Structure 1
Amino acid sequence: MVVNRESLIPDRASGIGALAVVCVLGAGTVSGSAPQDPGARAKEAYARAQTFETEGNHPAALALLWEAAGLAPADPDIQDRLGEALERIGALDAAIEAYRAALAGRPDVPKASNHLILALVKAGKGPEAVARAQTLVAAAPTDPERVFTLGLAQSEQDFTAAIDTFRRVLQLAPRHALARYNLALVLKRADRQAEAIDELQRAIAIEPRAEAQYTLGVIYWQQGDLDRAVTALGAAIAAEPQYADAHVTLGAVLKGKRDWDGAVASLRKATALRPDLPAARYTLAQVLELKGDARGARAERAEADRLRERGEREQEAGVWTAVGTQKLDAGDAAGAVDCFRRATAIVETYAPAHYQMGRALLRLGRRDASDAAFSRARQLNPSLVPPGG
């Protein structure tokens, strides 16, 4: 299991995610070349998707995972990876169906089961998540990882139960740093800050993870202990220099200490690491205003507004693309085209929508329009090679 910064289960996705009610599980893609073995094509697409993910090219990876899932709908590894990619764009219901497909292909895979449980929690389906986790624990009650997953499922539903469950994990595995860290998160949410600090310090003694140092710094900041907050956040950055959120929070703490130059330096580092992060620019605008740089503040605030709006539009475009791909692989190519057009109307530069539109138009026999869609997708993202290309 991998810690996702302050929480393994972030806040529930926006209502946009509810549009994607089912996942891409259907028939294979259409290619203009001679027929090839679908299994081999699926493996090739999956391998390329993994390469693109490693390079950070997530739109290209998602398009290829969609293609691979259509070619090999029963492959659990492909479906699990597709679920992760869909979760990344906020298409939670589609991700859940991908994880279900992964488990249908191989019910004994812990990774897909954990992914499904956590996605259910994010999507507001906590009771099913807890029930699934409880079933896993019942089959192996002394397995700390299964008990840990139950604690994660409970952490958004019942603080008391989650605290008890994480403490049970620590009885089974006293050096389970993630259990101790997540216990601290639940204690923090339950407004038991002193206990949360104690657990974070114990977790750091076991394994000095940047996330634990960061959360400790956030608690100190919320308590008004700015010096300790700076120390903890500095430790988080020392452990992981590319930790953009830690730079943002350190900038906010230094703002509270009226250290304008230090705050600006931290916030500019955050924007360099994550140019798409609106929060850093909003805080930077505030600091620049306090420094008397009204012009710079206006520029940062305007850029923050632009980034926030773009992020919202891209999420919506991604969800419409997920819905359209489901329609395409269910045989409704015309309905899919309508979804992809909605996506490109929201964000014309969203390459996966153009790529999937090319697939749909090809299936409808509209070769010229299909070629144009594939060409636009590749223009936007050179990694998006047409099927069979």
Structure 2
Amino acid sequence: MRVIIFFFILIMPLSAHSRPVVAVLPFEEANTDWLSEGMAWSLSDKLRRVSALQMVDSNRLNAALSQYQTPVQIGQSAGATLVLYGACRLQKDQLQVSARVLRVDTDDILELGEVEGPLDSLFALQDSVIRRFLDGVDLSSTVIEWEAIIRRPTRSVQAYIHWVRARSMLTGNAEDPDVVRGHLTLALAEDADYADAHSHLGLLFVAQRRFKEALGALQTAVRLKPDDPLTRYNLGVTYASLGQPDRAAVSFQDAIRLKPDDPITHYNLGILYHLQGNHEAAIAPLQTAVRLKSDFAVAYLTLGIALANTQSHTRAEDALKEAIRLSPENADAHYNLGVVYIEMGHRDQAAEVLEQAISHNPEHADAHFNLGRAYEALGRYDEAVAAFKQAAQFNPDYADLHFNLGIAHTEAGRFEEAIRTLHTARRIYPQDPLIYHNMGIAYRNAARFEEAENAFREALRLNPHLADIHLSLGSLQLDMGRYEQGLSSIREAVRLTPKNADAHRYLGEALAYLKQYPDAIQAFRKAIELKGDDGDAHLGLGMVYLQAGQKTAAASALKTGLRLSSGHPDSLAIAREIARLQKQPEQVSTYLNRARAFEDAGLLDEAIDAYRKAASLSPENADIQHALGLACLRANRPEDALPAFRKVLRLRPDHPDANLIRDFIRRMEEGR
């Protein structure tokens, strides 16, 4: 082998303590179709082994090469401090290589001259260029990796040529993978232990989604060249695609150990953990990815999703905002930020961001769905319905969509439409108890009580441990006048969720219906202990105190309840009752106690007179009118009962005995 060097090299000194960032450009070529990129790849691979140097990011270099022409422009765009480039010529099996170094900050060029030798001496010529480069930048004396630098990739130059041609086709997204495979097969025929050929054969199989074949090729490449981070990376991709995430993680970690500054590998390790549901583990590699590559928009997006899944909503918001800044038209980034805002309770911001997501991708079904959720939370039910219907056009079999659409219809008062929509959700997912629960709520609001009860019971059959469904069933049973059953259902809800304030409030209502006032008072007090600002619990407690004859306590509880329940539909009647109780707190109770004593003694006429006195002092009290009507019936004075019962319905249309009272009034009016 004869290598001729035609020059002596002047030294291009570097500033102290600097670590040069090197870009190697494709060499200009003549008479070959493979050497330009092959020379650049091989020189880059050798320089990558020099710890005193740092190679530019390959993606950034490729972007610069596609955009600029001159070495200065390319180097500046790629972030290089030194650019190695040159030309090569193959003529009659003789190879000539010339090279030069550009210092980007000063625009100085150092000519490395020309080396020449037979084609079989290609690897030695490359080593000579590397030595001259290191001499030229005054680093030769610091290099300790010479053995690794001069290591031959293969024992056959012909194998190398086939590999370069195959790699060029892979890099250029060759349309004919069989040609690529043919070159790699020829390379391996020349040298069966050619690690790079095995590695790129594996990469070809990965691109074709032939992962089992890729696995064998990449494992061989790792065995032959264990220090190649790219092969380790592609092995990780292969393991992940074969459903072996633990091995994939190990391969990605090995690649990171060999090349810790590669953001893509950190990103894929984070994605792997994220897809496994291990969001905590995903955060660190994703943070490293964006630290290494500050414009890595998709990594910021994935980081934001992982943070959101760990309930780190503020940090997720920051990551997703950065993803949007880097990629303003990324619908998924807007969508995920909208979901984070929903979880944070920022409903107006959620709606705004989700509308932007849809503007970038009008067919984003999830964005339409979550926009509906945001509108629903804002009480904009008609807009929520429209958003859910739009989502259904793109994903008609999504049960949650129909479920939320049904809830929106219910909130908007369109109960029959809600029922139809929830039936659609049930057909898609018949085992979801929450669908039946909300179906029961819609039936109840539509006054279809038996169907509501059936829906609640089916929900409990699917999951008997959901306290809210027991509460809904119990409340319905109270409305149907089945107080004992209602009490039983509500007690089960309390047992399942003993710290649920609503459950204790419903328990108080059930006990009050059954006139178990001491227990009802205790239940309402427990509800208030758990949720002190529950106006309905204070009002319920006040009404029980009233029924128990504790007028002062009743007035205090009703006053608190009225203050906490601004806009209550019965606020005027409650205020009047409070005023009467505070003015004459004992007179009403005196007449009521007297009336009950007369009833117990069988003196019904006297009892009726006492009830009438009590009613005159508290004319808005439906319970007194009800007691008066019952006393009249017991005294066989139905005509006197009639006006009392009519007042009951006027004052309290949802009275537990409302159906019986209506039936009595109808019979009286018919003369029966």
* TM-score scaled by length of structure 1: 0.55
- What do residues 193-214 of structure 1 show as CA deviations (whole Å, max 9, x unaligned)? 1001001101100012111111
The answer to whether the aligner puts 1:257 opposite 2:552 as a matched pair is no
Secondary structure class of the residue paired with 1:171: helix
Deviation at 1:111, TM superposition (A): 6.8
Alpha-carbon distance in structure 1 between the residues aligned to 2:362 and 2:496:
37
Of 270-279 and 239-248, the range deviating more from structure 2: 239-248
After superposition, residues 131-210 of structure 1 pair within 5 angstroms as 131-155=386-410, 156=412, 158-208=414-464, 209-210=466-467
Do the aligned partners of 2:439 and 2:452 also contact (CA within 8 Å) in 1? yes
The 1:147/1:309 distance shift into structure 2, 3 A limit, reads closer
Residue identity in the other structure for 1:181? H
The answer to whether the aligner puts 1:304 opposite 2:557 as a matched pair is no
Structure-1 residue corresponding to 2:495: 238
Residue identity in the other structure for 2:383? E
Structure-1 residue corresponding to 2:341: 82
Deviation at 1:94, TM superposition (A): 5.3
The 1:82/1:119 distance shift into structure 2, 3 A limit, reads closer
Structure-1 residue corresponding to 2:82: none
Secondary structure class of the residue paired with 1:292: coil
Do the aligned partners of 2:366 and 2:391 also contact (CA within 8 Å) in 1? no
Q: Which 5+ residue runs of structure 1 have no aligned equivalent?
A: 1-36, 54-60, 312-389
Alpha-carbon distance in structure 1 between the residues aligned to 2:450 and 2:535:
31
Residues matched between the structures, number: 256
Alpha-carbon distance in structure 1 between the residues aligned to 2:535 and 2:509:
14
Structure showing the higher strand proportion among its residues: 2
The 1:98/1:211 distance shift into structure 2, 3 A limit, reads farther
Structure-1 residue corresponding to 2:150: none
The 1:299/1:128 distance shift into structure 2, 3 A limit, reads closer
The 1:50/1:144 distance shift into structure 2, 3 A limit, reads closer
Alpha-carbon distance in structure 2 between the residues aligned to 1:111 and 1:277:
35
Alpha-carbon distance in structure 2 between the residues aligned to 1:297 and 1:157:
34
The answer to whether the aligner puts 1:117 opposite 2:372 as a matched pair is yes
Q: Which has the higher contact order (CA 8 A, sep 6+)?
A: 1
Do the aligned partners of 2:321 and 2:337 also contact (CA within 8 Å) in 1? no
Deviation at 1:173, TM superposition (A): 2.0
Structure-1 residue corresponding to 2:531: 274
Of 268-277 and 173-182, the range deviating more from structure 2: 173-182
The 1:246/1:119 distance shift into structure 2, 3 A limit, reads same
Structure-2 residue corresponding to 1:226: 483
Do the aligned partners of 1:169 and 1:176 also contact (CA within 8 Å) in 2? no
- What do residues 42-61 of structure 1 show as CA deviations (whole Å, max 9, x unaligned)? 98xx98x957x9xxxxxxx8
Structure-2 residue corresponding to 1:100: 355
Deviation at 1:190, TM superposition (A): 1.0
Alpha-carbon distance in structure 2 between the residues aligned to 1:153 and 1:137:
14
Residue identity in the other structure for 1:299? S
Alpha-carbon distance in structure 2 between the residues aligned to 1:163 and 1:308:
30
Structure-1 residue corresponding to 2:383: 128
Deviation at 1:124, TM superposition (A): 5.6
Secondary structure class of the residue paired with 1:219: helix
The 1:131/1:294 distance shift into structure 2, 3 A limit, reads closer
Deviation at 1:303, TM superposition (A): 2.9
Do the aligned partners of 1:221 and 1:229 also contact (CA within 8 Å) in 2? yes
Deviation at 1:235, TM superposition (A): 1.3
Do the aligned partners of 1:133 and 1:153 also contact (CA within 8 Å) in 2? no
Structure showing the higher helix proportion among its residues: 1
The 1:137/1:189 distance shift into structure 2, 3 A limit, reads same
* Structure with bigger gyration radius: 2
- What do residues 192-240 of structure 1 show as CA deviations (whole Å, max 9, x unaligned)? 1100100110110001211111111111111111101101111111222
Do the aligned partners of 1:82 and 1:95 also contact (CA within 8 Å) in 2? yes
- What do residues 66-105 of structure 1 show as CA deviations (whole Å, max 9, x unaligned)? 9999888866545433345446xxxx65553354357678
Alpha-carbon distance in structure 2 between the residues aligned to 1:268 and 1:96:
39
After superposition, residues 64-83 of structure 1 pair within 5 angstroms as 76-83=335-342
Alpha-carbon distance in structure 2 between the residues aligned to 1:277 and 1:65:
33
Secondary structure class of the residue paired with 2:431: coil
Secondary structure class of the residue paired with 2:474: helix
Deviation at 1:161, TM superposition (A): 3.0
The answer to whether the aligner puts 1:211 opposite 2:468 as a matched pair is yes
- What do residues 242-285 of structure 1 show as CA deviations (whole Å, max 9, x unaligned)? 22112112101211211111101110110111011111111112
Find 1:291's aligned residue among 535, 548, 571. 548
Structure-2 residue corresponding to 1:337: none
Alpha-carbon distance in structure 2 between the residues aligned to 1:227 and 1:288:
21
- What do residues 327-352 of structure 1 show as CA deviations (whole Å, max 9, x unaligned)? xxxxxxxxxxxxxxxxxxxxxxxxxx
* TM-score scaled by length of structure 2: 0.33
Alpha-carbon distance in structure 2 between the residues aligned to 1:67 and 1:172:
37
Do the aligned partners of 1:284 and 1:297 also contact (CA within 8 Å) in 2? yes
- What do residues 127-167 of structure 1 show as CA deviations (whole Å, max 9, x unaligned)? 43333222322223233233333333333363333222222
Alpha-carbon distance in structure 2 between the residues aligned to 1:246 and 1:175:
25
Residue identity in the other structure for 2:470? Q
Secondary structure class of the residue paired with 2:532: coil
Secondary structure class of the residue paired with 2:491: helix
User: Pairwise CA RMSD of aligned residues?
Assistant: 3.8
Alpha-carbon distance in structure 1 between the residues aligned to 2:364 and 2:468:
27
The 1:126/1:275 distance shift into structure 2, 3 A limit, reads closer
Alpha-carbon distance in structure 2 between the residues aligned to 1:128 and 1:99:
13
Alpha-carbon distance in structure 2 between the residues aligned to 1:186 and 1:193:
10
Do the aligned partners of 1:126 and 1:157 also contact (CA within 8 Å) in 2? no
Structure-2 residue corresponding to 1:12: none
The 1:160/1:290 distance shift into structure 2, 3 A limit, reads closer
Secondary structure class of the residue paired with 1:191: coil
Do the aligned partners of 2:467 and 2:492 also contact (CA within 8 Å) in 1? yes
Deviation at 1:108, TM superposition (A): 8.6
Do the aligned partners of 1:217 and 1:230 also contact (CA within 8 Å) in 2? yes
Do the aligned partners of 1:77 and 1:102 also contact (CA within 8 Å) in 2? no
